[in-house]
Chains A and B, each alone.
Chain A
Amino acid sequence: MIRLAVISGKGGTGKTMITAALARLLKGTLVLADCDVDAANLALVTSPHLLSTTPFMGMKSARIDPAACVKCAECEAYCRFKAVDWLGNVFRINPFRCEGCAVCTFVCPVKAITMQPRQTGEILYSETLRGHLVHARLVPGAGNSGLLVHAVKKMAMEQDGTCDLFLIDGPPGTGCPLISTISGVDAVLVVTEPSVSGVHDLKRVVTVCRQFRPRLIVAINRFDLNISQTKEIEAWCREEDIPLLGKIPFDPAVIKAVRAGISVTDAGASPAAQAIQILAAKLEVELTNLDNNR
């Protein structure tokens, strides 16, 4: 199995649209995962049929028993996350701030604090036209998105580990969910856009990716919106020896396809669809080489 993650650094460059199209175009059996768990959109363009849901338990959270609490304020003094609120007559844990470290349970002299399991999301397992999709819903505002990404990937591997390709729609950024997404993958496709922000974020995310040593590949979306920035990205990729396998033009057909809930490559001929087909064909060769070389 080849594991390919589609990421971007900067948000909104077109990761999900390209992942959905690649799922339709790349050959062989595949399993899909949406690892952008706090704003998961891949399901909106893959027409999934839900097969099962599994609750996701994040870190435990502290709870103070008001009947046992002697209001000594030790928990408040030791909590480094400022998660203990004094409400005038009672101490209470702020669930948004609690990181589940359990220090308060240790310092409480009367053992009035316990760690309680909490469900912070659910993992969804669905059927699409191109294999299974593992996606998730994180409770808005909940932490532990990196843990949830790990759980999503684990379910995909357990359920569909025999597929030829594991295709992952990744999160933006470079932090915890991104690191969880790219750890253990064979290849990373970075989708960028020709803007000062796109270029800056591309360079940053590539630095992070290199620590994990996957095969790096770049594609530029909406490349025609700023040709000089596109040229800069091309030059940088050459310098860094990263293959640039696709340049997709700005095309209203993309938004039209997203609104119809389908991949742009299934919405008839368009400049964007054609460019993504070329990207998929080149990617196919790249992934085959990668598979043969291990």
Chain B
Amino acid sequence: MKLAVASGKGGTGKSMVAANIAYVLSQTGPVTLIDCDVEEPDLHLFFTAPATTSDVTVRVPVIDEFACKQCGKCGEFCQYGALTVLPDRVLFFPELCHSCGGCTLVCPEYAIREEPRRIGMLGISSPLPTLTLITGTLDAGSPHAVPVIKEAKMQALGGHVTIIDTAPGTSCPVVEALDGCDACILVTESTPFGLHDLQLAADVAARLGIPAGIVINRSDGKDGETLRFCTDHDLEVMLTIPFDREIAAIQSRGDLLCRERPEWQKDFCALYAKCRALAGVDE
């Protein structure tokens, strides 16, 4: 079972939900938790443990100045404008490069080879005996989140329950994190911002063919419009967490709700059972 936690709007409580599900499930079996919010990964703050790190690299072109005849074919072909051919040399802009390899194919002089360039890193840790945390971190200033997300997901151990925390938004980093998941939880809050972005996130999940269910977080009881949207779109509200200063305080200091207030454990277990049903995985 691969379960993603997404939201559209930021700050609705994705990481909180992902961390608490992983925590309660790790009490009964092995769990892999993957932080795919690589631009701002935060799960390691809730599960502190020494991590083994490795670089995430992408392939970028290196031009052999002696072989290059400045014919301009690579610059013409590159769809991202990452190569500019001048009369005496070729300029390369790594932050624009998507590592497609096109320039190496079109060069008639075979003057372009590729070498790895670091764009981020992976951290793997075992904060609990049955919990593996994989954190993808994009290097500051690097724009390309997707290759780091791909790499983080590839580290997941097969056979384990896998929980994936995604970035906010609805564009490529979220699509990459959701890809291949059996079900996803959309965490929302009952404000016009929360609802607007929930609609977009539900749309993305539907387009990708991933069954989705809803968690309403920080509810102040005025959930009418959110509930109406969920009913109209056949989305199950699987859990509602009230606004509570104590819950906010637990979260803000990096603690886990289910550890500090164990009475919540059954709610997160029930949430996971509902996700399994959503995904059509047998009990």
Please determine whether A101 and B98 come into contact, CB atoms closer than 8 angstroms.
yes
Q: Answer yes or no: B9 CB below 8 A from chain A CBs.
A: yes
State whether the Cβ of A146 lies closer than 8 Å to any Cβ in chain B: yes
Is B252 a contact of A103 with CB atoms below 8 Å? Answer: no
Is B200 in contact with chain A by the CB < 8 A criterion? Answer: yes
A contact set with B: CB distance below 8 Å: 8-13, 16, 36-39, 41, 44, 59-60, 78, 80-81, 96, 99-103, 106-107, 138, 140-146, 171-180, 193-198, 200-201, 204-205, 207-208, 211, 225-226, 228-229, 252, 255, 258-259, 261
> B40 in the interface, Cβ–Cβ < 8 Å?
yes
Q: Which of B152-160, B201-209, B272-280 contacts A (4 or more CB under 8 A)?
A: B201-209
Smallest CB gap from B12: residue in A:
A12
Query: Which residues of A are found within 8 Å of B102, using beta-carbon distances?
Result: 101-103, 106
- Contact partner, A194, options B12, B77, B200, B252, Cβ 8 Å: B252
Contact across chains for B144 and A207 when beta carbons are under 8 A apart: no
Question: B192 an interface residue at 8 Å Cβ cutoff?
Answer: yes
B53 within 8 A of A: no
Please tell me which stretch of B63-71, B166-174, B230-238 contacts chain A, meaning at least 4 of its Cβ atoms lie within 8 angstroms of it: B166-174
Q: Are B101 and A200 in contact (CB under 8 A)?
A: no
Q: Find residues 219-238 in chain B having any chain A CB closer than 8 Å to their own CB.
A: 220, 222
Instruction: Give 30 pairs: A residue, B residue, CB < 8 Å, sorted on A.
Output: A10-B40, A11-B40, A12-B9, A12-B168, A13-B10, A38-B171, A38-B174, A38-B200, A41-B193, A60-B79, A80-B100, A99-B100, A101-B98, A143-B172, A144-B171, A145-B171, A172-B168, A173-B39, A175-B138, A175-B142, A175-B143, A175-B173, A193-B11, A196-B42, A197-B45, A228-B253, A255-B191, A258-B191, A259-B192, A261-B192
Q: Which of B25-33, B121-129, B243-251, B258-266 contacts A (4 or more CB under 8 A)?
A: B243-251
Q: Kindly count the residue-residue contacts between A and B in the assembled complex, taking CB atoms under 8 Å apart.
A: 195
**Interface 0/1 of B88-106, CB less than 8 Å to A:** 0000000100111110011
CB–CB B101/A141 < 8 A: no
A94's closest neighbor in chain B, by CB? B179
Please tell me if the beta carbons of A96 and B208 are within 8 angstroms of each other in the complex: yes
B8 at the interface (CB under 8 A from A): yes
- A197 cross-chain contacts in B, Cβ below 8 A: 15, 40, 42, 45, 254
B182 adjacent to chain A (CB < 8 Å): no
B251 contacts across to A, CB distance below 8 A: 195
CA distance A18 to B76 in the complex (A): 44
Q: Which residue of B lies closest to A194 (CB)?
A: B252
Partner of A174, one of B39, B100, B200, B207: B39
Nearest CB in chain B: distance from A56 CB, A: 13
A225 contacts B173, C-beta separation under 8 Å: no
B87 surroundings in chain A (CB, below 8 A): none
Tell me how far the C-beta of A181 lies from the nearest C-beta in chain B, rounded to whole angstroms: 11
Cα(A255)–Cα(B45), bound, Å: 28
- Asked if B145 lies at the interface with its beta carbon under 8 angstroms from chain A, I say yes
Cβ 8 A contact of A172, one of B141, B169, B175, B252: B169
B193 partner residues in chain A, CB cutoff 8 A: 16, 41, 44, 258
In the complex, which of the residues A96, A196, A200 contacts B253, with contact meaning CB atoms closer than 8 Å? A196
Report A-chain residues with C-beta under 8 Å of the C-beta of B248. 225-226
CA distance A160 to B77 in the complex (A): 35
Taking the complex as formed, is B196 at the interface, i.e. its CB lies under 8 A from any CB of chain A? Answer: yes
